[in-house]
């Protein structure tokens, strides 16, 4: 597993790691501020910014009207004038309301002005299903954002990763879409107290293996690891890779793993059709790793349906641990 900072025995939640990363950056850089709906006294929809307004005040922890277009537009303007805003959208689904600001303004400004203008901003937003929030509050739209040149796309899966990747995102001079899966907020892990940065574009091998490469994102990383532990009991060795950032994508780590195992499965929660799994599969097909494949590439993704409110149907709409286990077993049949 990639080591980016000193080891520590301190354990905090994913949510606390996000808050700590922002607070530490704001203490040392007056140009950093946060804006979003109910992020002040209320502390945000999921409580990530709770307590921050007491330390930094309402000028740097700014409550906004209920308008994602206004929030993102204000952030783009602030970034263009030298600030380094962090905007919080309550649910990642609401980025659809901010598409002109993010896709036509933030993503393209640096290119259109020959590098003389830059947009150093981070759009943080909770994504994914599993909370019973239904069709308009449970989507995974990262592949949509990954399609836009000029935007960087990050999906941390652990408390350690989220702090280091958020530091890298805040230091970046380009707009970064930073997805935080809702079900990960309460998960815990070892996180150093000091600031540290994990480079964008560097994957992490969460578990080493020899029989099949399993690339998984966000919450699916944890399901992949549970599936790998079960499969190990049957003598099947699964290598689990977390890309951590979708854009830029660490192609080298994935290619080298597939050359070693000869098999590839990609698992993500987003709808399978048009998902990042297809991009990773085609990347392997176009690389030297293709000649090492001993089995067809498999993709696991969500069904092409809106996320249901019913808990049983919600679970059925996205890949689960038994689905991953079945896909691995099918893949290793090929010799």
Please check whether residues 162 and 20 belong to one and the same domain.
yes
Query: And the tokens for 257?
Result: 């793993």
Q: Which of 137, 181, 222, 268 is catalytic?
A: 137
Burial pattern 66-87, b for ≥16 Cβ within 10 A else e, equals: eebeebbbbbbebbbeebbbbb
Please check whether residues 167 and 54 belong to one and the same domain.
yes
Active site residue 137: yes
Residue 1 lies in a domain: no
Give the phi and the psi of residue 256 in degrees, each rounded to 5: -65, -35
Is pTM beyond 0.85 here? Answer: yes
Residue 96 lies in a domain: yes
Residue 198 lies in a domain: no
Given 166, 190, 214, the domain boundary residue is 190
> What is the count of structural domains for the chain?
2
Please check whether residues 138 and 173 belong to one and the same domain.
yes
The whole-angstrom separation of Cα 131 and Cα 334 is: 37
Please check whether residues 72 and 181 belong to one and the same domain.
yes
Please check whether residues 48 and 132 belong to one and the same domain.
yes
Identify any residues that bridge with 245 across adjacent strands, giving them in sequence order: 154
Please check whether residues 250 and 216 belong to one and the same domain.
yes
Query: Angle CA(6)–CA(11)–CA(12) in degrees, nearest 5?
Result: 115
Please check whether residues 39 and 164 belong to one and the same domain.
yes
Given 190, 222, 250, the domain boundary residue is 190
Please check whether residues 274 and 175 belong to one and the same domain.
no
| pLDDT tens for the chain, residues 1 to 335 | 444 444 558 999 999 999 999 999 999 999 999 999 999 999 999 999 999 999 999 999 999 999 999 999 999 999 999 999 999 999 999 999 999 999 999 999 999 999 999 999 999 999 999 999 999 999 999 999 999 999 999 999 999 999 999 999 999 999 999 999 999 999 999 999 999 999 999 999 999 999 999 999 999 999 999 999 999 999 999 999 999 999 999 999 999 999 999 999 999 999 999 999 999 999 999 999 999 999 999 999 999 999 999 999 999 999 999 999 999 999 998 76
Residue 3 lies in a domain: no
Please check whether residues 163 and 22 belong to one and the same domain.
yes
Please check whether residues 20 and 165 belong to one and the same domain.
yes
Q: What is the CATH number of the domain that holds 209?
A: 3.40.50.920
Query: Do the strands 238-242 and 204-207 form a parallel or antiparallel pair, or are they unpaired?
Result: antiparallel
Q: What is the CATH number of the domain that holds 35?
A: 3.40.50.970
Given 190, 222, 246, the domain boundary residue is 190
Q: Edge-to-edge strands of the sheet including 84-88?
A: 61-63, 32-36, 84-88, 122-127, 176-181, 152-154, 245-247
Identify any residues that bridge with 264 across adjacent strands, giving them in sequence order: 213
The whole-angstrom separation of Cα 316 and Cα 26 is: 41
Residue 6 lies in a domain: no
Residue 196 lies in a domain: no
Residue numbers of the domain that contains 305: 204-332
Residue 124 lies in a domain: yes
Please check whether residues 230 and 143 belong to one and the same domain.
no
Please check whether residues 177 and 65 belong to one and the same domain.
yes
């Amino acid at each position: 597993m990639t080591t980016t900072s000193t080891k520590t025995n301190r354990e905090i939640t994913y949510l606390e790691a996000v808050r700590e990363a922002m607070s530490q950056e704001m203490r040392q850089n007056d140009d950093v501020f946060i804006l979003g709906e109910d992020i002040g006294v209320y502390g945000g929809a999921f409580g990530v910014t709770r307590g921050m307004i007491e330390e930094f005040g309402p000028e740097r922890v700014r409550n906004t009207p209920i308008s994602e277009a206004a929030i993102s537009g204000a952030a783009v303007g602030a970034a263009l004038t030298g600030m380094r805003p962090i905007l919080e959208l309550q649910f990642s689904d609401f980025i659809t309301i901010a598409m002109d600001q993010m896709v036509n303004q933030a993503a393209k400004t640096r290119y259109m002005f020959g590098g003389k203008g830059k947009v150093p901003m981070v759009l943080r937003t909770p994504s994914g299903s599993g909370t019973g929030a239904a069709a308009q509050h449970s989507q995974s739209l990262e592949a949509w954002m990954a399609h836009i040149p000029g935007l960087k796309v990050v999906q941390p899966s652990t408390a350690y990763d989220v702090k280091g990747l958020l530091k890298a995102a805040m230091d970046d001079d380009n707009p970064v879409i930073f997805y935080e899966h809702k079900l990960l907020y309460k998960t815990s892990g070892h996180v150093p107290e000091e600031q540290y940065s994990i480079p964008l574009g560097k994957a992490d091998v969460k578990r080493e293996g020899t029989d099949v490469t399993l690339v998984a994102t966000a919450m699916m990383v944890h399901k992949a690891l549970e599936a790998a532990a079960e499969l190990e009991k049957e003598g099947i060795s699964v290598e689990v890779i977390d890309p951590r950032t979708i854009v830029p994508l660490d192609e080298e780590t994935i290619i080298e793993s597939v050359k070693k195992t000869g098999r590839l499965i990609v698992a993500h929660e987003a709808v399978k059709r048009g998902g990042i799994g297809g991009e990773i599969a085609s990347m392997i097909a176009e690389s030297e790793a293709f000649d090492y494949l001993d089995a067809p590439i498999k993709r696991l993704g969500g069904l092409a349906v809106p996320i249901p409110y019913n808990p049983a149907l919600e679970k059925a709409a996205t890949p689960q641990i038994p689905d991953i286990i079945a896909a691995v077993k099918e893949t290793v049949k090929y010799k």
